[in-house]
Structure 1
Amino acid sequence: MAQVYVALGANLADPISQLNSACEALLSLATVDSLATSPYYRSAPMGDVEQPDYVNAVVGFQTMLAPIELLDALQAIENQQGRLRELRWGPRTLDLDLLLYDDQSIDTPRLVVPHYGMRERSFVLVPLSDIAPELILPDKTPLSSLVNKSLKAELVLAQAPTVK
């Protein structure tokens, strides 16, 4: 059984509902009573594409799935919720990124864990710290050393999750 953390983001088709639906779907990948969901935060989009703000969260859960099986399951949930991969950093109904898989470091053509951009993204670090404040990253960096007041100030609380 592996402890995993997944970042959620959406900025199309009622983003809060998209995250709620994704959390419900993620329950099927998690062992019983292991899913923890951060509050939802609003954040500005990355890149130069004109688009609405995002709603972001992080979930943590235990799973029996191997890393690539989990990636396939996450992409299936994205597809079920209308995800189209047309434009890098473009608007989307749902984005699910596998941030951490136990304390493993994975570097394959399909999957890089820890997620390559998580250390620079307040919309990942802050919600991750909400559900796992004592987390130590695979490189032995305490998560708490990456989260500071300025990161927290970048985000606006959007809503509490409906799935806990």
Structure 2
Amino acid sequence: MSQHTAVLLLGSNIGDTKNNIDEALEAISQGNIILKKSEYLISEPVEFVSSNIFCNIATIIQTHLSPVQLLDYVKKIEISMGRKNDSSVTKIYTNRVIDIDIVKFNELKFSSERLEIPHKRHLYEREFSKFLLKDII
């Protein structure tokens, strides 16, 4: 079974946001290895208006899953934690208990309806993402 390196970005702006991220990281670590984590970062919502601020973190993991399998895995975590709307489907950003994005996967370039790797907005456009990612990649 081959191992892959993936960079994930997690965010939460509902409830105990730091605890939500820690719970998601614990779920991610079941079957994957967390190699590195950034510091937590508090940031304003991006691309939608909300009075709830975000707690965010970036992490590098080692996984045996393919990109699509990893996407399915993190989407199951989001749903199990109470996420109701998937902005990648609805194209509408809302408050969320947890959001887990795949930013990079090895050096792969991949695009489908459900997944784009690398995640260009996180790598090049969103300031909070660039700040978190510069710490770990």
Whether the TM-score (by the shorter chain) exceeds 0.5 is yes
Deviation of 1:86 after TM superposition, in Å, equals 6.8
1:118-137 alignment, distance < 5 Å: 118=122, 119-132=124-137
Spell out the pairing of 1:18-97 with structure 2 (5 A cutoff). 18-31=20-33, 34-85=34-85, 88-97=92-101
Q: Cα offset for 1:93?
A: 0.2
Following superposition, the deviation at residue 48 of structure 1 comes to 3.7
Q: What whole-Å deviation, never above 9, does each CA across 1:87-114 have from its counterpart, x for those lacking one?
A: 7221000000000000000011111001
Q: CA deviation at 1:67?
A: 0.6
TM-score, reference length from structure 2: 0.88
Amino-acid identity (%): 29
Structure 1 residue runs of 5 or longer lacking an equivalent are: 133-164
Larger radius of gyration: 1
State the secondary structure of the residue aligned to 1:35.
Answer: strand
Alignment gaps of 5+ in structure 2: none
Aligned partner of 1:4: which letter?
Answer: A
| Contact in 2 for aligned 1:27/1:35 (Cα 8 Å) | no
User: How far off its partner does 1:29 sit?
Assistant: 3.6
RMSD across aligned positions (CA): 1.5
Q: Secondary structure of 1:97's partner?
A: strand
2:86 and 2:121 mapped to 1: Cα distance? 20
Q: How many residues align?
A: 130
Once superposed, which parts of structure 1, at least 4 consecutive aligned residues long, lie more than 4 Å away? none
Q: What is the alpha-carbon distance in structure 1 between the residues aligned to residue 24 and residue 85 of structure 2?
A: 17
Rounded to whole Å, the distance in 2 between the matches of 1:94 and 1:58 is 13
TM-score, normalised relative to structure 1: 0.75
